Amino acid sequence: MNFNFTPFPVLETERLTLRALNLDDAKAIFGLRTNKEVNEFIDRKRPNNLSEARAFIDRISQLTSNNEGIFWVIESKNNYQLVGTIGLRHFEDEEDYAEIGYELDPSYQQKGYMSEAFEAVLEFGFKEMELKTIEAFTHYNNEASIALLEKQKFILFPDRTDEGFVNNRSYRLEVSK
């Protein structure tokens, strides 16, 4: 799988623009990654300050320029605010595989925004990147995430484990090979 994310593939949906992350997003990224509600079921290191948020943005930008992952900012077309993020990473050649990750600001949740973003990213993953499998690891109590995945026809794979995250369950969407 040889991907090339330059120029960056901006995706458009009815209400959203999915665009590249940049250093001007540091404050919004800090807000998302420190928000208690957003992080309730996500086991990850939180930035302590804006400079750690900027370091995160640098790492993500590097990943994308090395074609090792792709991370979109979800921006509202209404007000140009960063309302969430969505990305694909952990590519595996043999399986044409990627893992998906996603988060949305609480004030934008339960309005169909992530479904809209998800559909655009799934289409990009399966059609443009020619992936065959997209997997999401999600905490077994994360009802919102599970509802979103099931709506997108992801299927629970109870025997798969997420190394280091015992509470996570695997949901996969596979297209026929």
Q: Which residues bind ligand COA (CB under 6 A)?
A: 38, 41-42, 102-104, 109-115, 136, 138, 142-145, 147-148, 151
Q: How far is the CB of 1 from ligand COA (least distance, A)?
A: 23
Q: How far is the CB of 83 from ligand COA (least distance, A)?
A: 9
CA distance 124 to 100: 12
- Whichever of 67 and 152 has its CB closer to ligand COA, that residue is 152
- Whichever of 43 and 68 has its CB closer to ligand COA, that residue is 43
- Whichever of 1 and 42 has its CB closer to ligand COA, that residue is 42
Residue 122 sits at φ, ψ, to 5 deg, of -65, -40
- Whichever of 52 and 116 has its CB closer to ligand COA, that residue is 116
- Show the beta-strand stretches assigned E in the chain: 11-12, 16-20, 70-76, 82-92, 97-104, 133-139, 155-157, 168-174
Q: How far is the CB of 59 from ligand COA (least distance, A)?
A: 19
CA distance 146 to 149: 5
- Whichever of 39 and 61 has its CB closer to ligand COA, that residue is 39
Q: How many CB atoms lie within 10 A of CB 36?
A: 8
**Pair 152, 137: CB distance under 8 Å:** no
Task: Please choose, from the candidates 3, 39, 33, 14, the residue with its C-alpha nearest in 3D space to the C-alpha of residue 119.
Answer: 14
Q: How far is the CB of 53 from ligand COA (least distance, A)?
A: 17
Q: For residue 66, what are the β-bridge partners?
A: none
Q: How far is the CB of 168 from ligand COA (least distance, A)?
A: 8
